[in-house]
Amino acid sequence: MKYQNKMLINGLFVNGEGNEENILNPVNAEILVQIKEAALNQVRLAVDSAEDAFNSWGKTTPAERSELLLKLADKIDQNSETLARLESLNCGKPFQAALEDELPAIVDTFRFFAGAARCMTGSAANEYLPNFTSMIRRDPIGVVGSITPWNYPLMMAAWKIAPAIAAGNTVVLKPSEMTPLSTLKAAEYFAEIFPPGVINIIVGRGNTVGAALASHPKVRLISLTGDISTGKKVLQAASDNLKKTHLELGGKAPVIVFDDADLKEVIENVRTFGYYNAGQDCTAPCRIYASSKIYENLVADLSSAVSNIKSGGQDEKGVEMGPLISERQQERVAGFVKRAAELNHIEITTGGQIDKGTGFFFQPTVIAGALQEDEITQKEVFGPVVSVTRFTDPEQAIDWANDSEYGLASSVWSKDIAKAMKVSARLQYGCTWINTHFMLTTEMPHGGLKASGYGKDMSVYALEDYTVIRHVMINLQ
Ligand code: NAD
């Protein structure tokens, strides 16, 4: 397969002039292609070109921007197979999952923001002082720097590019150094549809290219999806010139299961979504609090359901789960599980080991008997590992769910909807699902509280995040 390995700067495809990175297939650790990262002067060129392009792109009408976003959506739709193939090769995901789950969501993101660009709302213009008319404008910010992670590379790029462009900004985006292939391919479509400089794609590592983008004085907003520690670095870099920040930083989603929940549905959901994308998902249902009445049944049934999840390569028949992204991630996940297994109160009821053979596989794992203070309950593993903790008092379950540095996603399971509603109101999470978990829709915001960051992806709230509010006052006398 031939890979598009050039960056897009000012409408031109150019090779990086920095260090070379090996881009791997995580299923077998083979090198797919080598790509040179951007040299620092190329980061500056990309930002300069975005700044130049902003002079005209920032003045386009919402209808003009909408039309190009719709064209892009169609183009991605027509090339879904190619993009899904690249995503699945580079991330190790089952091909069908990339094709059927991710690509439609990516296309929908561009279509949604094409519509939203034309429907922004705000306060009414009025004479708040006699003889002075005040009005609110929502204007684009300027050059937006975007930095994406490796778990859903093209979807994260869509979540960042679509609202930024819809609002009239220009973008310089850096995908993860491990997974640039789908974004680089999509750069061909960006170049075909948008004027030069409106969307620029540069590649490279975080502490070189990412840091240069985050600290560049002409970048007016920096948007990151990544780890908490990366979020802190980006904030520091942004503080030098007080740029706006938009941070989506991981999660450790609690799943509160009351004794009147439909256990079959809980198990089906956690078996699917706790292990989807090999658990490398910031909203994955990975921290179960089970009422003591149903605890034993839940652990037994979940463990047996999880034990037959089929891991394998991108195109293996019936494959449900791929490998982790890298050897480093595999070792990290194994470390969490090993430290948990050393505790007397913990039982690994299924999985628990690195899968022998090629690539970076880890067995789908259930950890029973976890206590609130355990590392496995507190820290984001970002792997196919779900812990189960027993509770006796519902108040305790709510307190434990909130006792976390993270605040991205959560769920409550009970047939008593009034009870579930009351509990959901008390959870400190950007999203709470009731009797489901993991369902996203482009119309609704995705984003965290606490150390999970701030700023929303998807929905009209994301569009607002990529604008500045301005007050214009007219003297009528
Ligand atoms: P990461 O923080 O290591 O990397 C994310 C991106 O940041 C990469 O492009 C990387 O090159 C870049 N980066 C790293 N150091 C940087 C620096 N000093 N300056 C600027 N950029 C830098 O995260 P990852 O390992 O790629 O992704 C996994 C993390 O992302 C997990 O913690 C996960 O929960 C989080 N995540 C969050 C969401 C969300 O919506 N909240 C979604 C997906 C992933």
CATH topology match: 7-249 vs 253-441: no
Pocket probe mutation, ligand 1, options 147, 160, 230, 457, max atoms within 8 Å of Cβ:
230
Residue 469 φ/ψ region, left for φ over 0, alpha for ψ in the -120 to 50 degree band, beta for the rest: beta
* Dist CA 209 CA 199 (whole Å): 17
For 185-218, letters b (16+ CB in 10 Å) and e give: bbbebbbebbeebbbbbbbbbbebbbbbbbbbeb
- How much is the pLDDT for 80? 98
Q: Could you give the C-alpha distances from 266 to 151, 381, 383, 398, 413, in angstroms and in order?
A: 24, 21, 19, 18, 7
> pLDDT, tens digit, for every residue of 220-262?
999 999 999 999 999 999 999 999 999 999 999 999 999 999 9
Residue 301: strand, helix, or coil: helix
What CA–CA distance (Å, rounded) separates 183 from 87?
Answer: 9
| Res. 152: pLDDT tops 90 | yes
Give me ligand 1 centre to Cα 226, in Å.
Answer: 2
What positions carry a catalytic annotation?
248, 282
Tokens of 469: 């509010």
The predicted-structure confidence for 417-443, as pLDDT tens digits, reads as follows 999 999 999 999 999 999 999 999 999
Identify the CA nearest to 289 among candidates 255, 340, 263, 265.
255
pTM beyond cutoff 0.85: yes
Nearest CA among 170, 147, 158, 157 for reference residue 224? 147
DSSP-assigned letters across all residues of 386-426: EEEEEESSHHHHHHHHH-SS--SEEEEE-S-HHHHHHHHHH
**Quick check: CB of 210 below 6 Å from ligand 1?**
yes
pLDDT tier for residue 365 given thresholds of 50, 70 and 90: very high
253-441: in CATH 3.40.50.720: no
Closest ligand 1 atom to Cα of 237:
19
Looking at residue 184, what is its pLDDT?
98
How far apart CA 249 and CA 230 sit, in angstroms, is 8
| Residue 148 Cα: closest atom of ligand 1 | 9
Helix (H, G, I), strand (E, B) or coil at 88: helix
Question: Domain segments of the chain: what residues?
Answer: 7-249, 253-441
> How do strand 170-174 and strand 385-391 relate by DSSP bridges?
unpaired
Give nearest CA residue, ligand 1 atom 12: 206
User: Collapsing DSSP states into helix, strand and coil, what is residue 48?
Assistant: helix
Strands 20-25 and 132-140: unpaired
Task: Name the residue among 356, 317, 351 with its Cα closest to residue 337.
Answer: 351
What pairs with residue 469 in β-bridges?
A: 138
At 308, is the pLDDT very low, low, confident or very high (cuts 50, 70, 90)?
very high
Pocket of ligand 1 contains residue 207 by CB under 6 Å: yes
Spatial CA neighbour of 139 closest among 469, 458, 474, 465: 469
Calculate the CA dihedral of residues 282, 328, 174, 164 and round it to 10 degrees: 0
When the pLDDT of each residue in the chain is averaged and rounded to a whole number, the result is: 98
Q: What is the pLDDT of residues 455-467, one digit of tens each?
A: 999 999 999 999 9
Q: Rounded to an integer, what distance in angstroms lies between the CA atom of residue 240 and that of residue 230?
A: 16
The runs of H, that is alpha helices, within 308-409 are 327-341, 375-378, 394-402
Tell me the average pLDDT across 173-179.
98
Whether ligand 1 lies within 6 angstroms of the CB of 283 is answered as no
pLDDT of residue 326: 98
Ligand 1: does its nearest atom lie under 6 Å from the Cβ of 16? no
Q: How many CA atoms lie within 13 A of 21 on its CB side?
A: 26
> How many A from CA of 393 to the centre of ligand 1?
36
CATH architecture of 7-249: 3-Layer(aba) Sandwich (3.40)
Report percent pLDDT > 90 for the chain.
99
The answer, yes or no, to whether any atom of ligand 1 lies below 6 A from the CB of 233, is yes
Q: Give, using CA atoms, the residue closest to atom 11 of ligand 1.
A: 206
| 265: Cα within 13 Å, side-chain hemisphere | 15
Q: Which residues contact 371 (CB under 8 A, 6 or more apart)?
A: 345, 377, 389
pLDDT-based confidence at residue 356 (cuts at 50, 70, 90): confident
- Confidence tier at 357 by pLDDT (50, 70, 90): confident
Structure tokens belonging to residue 24: 């791997």
pLDDT in tens, 399-423: 999 999 999 999 999 999 999 999 9
CA 14 to the chain's CA centroid: 27
pLDDT per residue over 43-91, tens digit each?
999 999 999 999 999 999 999 999 999 999 999 999 999 999 999 999 9
User: Strand pairing of 365-368 and 431-434?
Assistant: unpaired
Neighbours of 128 (CB within 10 A): 11
Ligand 1 neighbour 26 (Cβ under 6 A): no
Tell me, letter by letter, the H, E, C secondary structure of 127-191: EEECCEEEEEEEEECCEEEEECCCCCHHHHHHHHHHHHHHCCCEEEEECCCCCCHHHHHHHHHHH
Query: Is the pLDDT reported for residue 1 higher than 90?
Result: no
Cα dist from 127 to 96, 469, 476, whole Å: 57, 18, 10
Give the amino acid at 276: Y
Give 278's DSSP letter.
Answer: G
Which pLDDT value is given to residue 260? Answer: 98
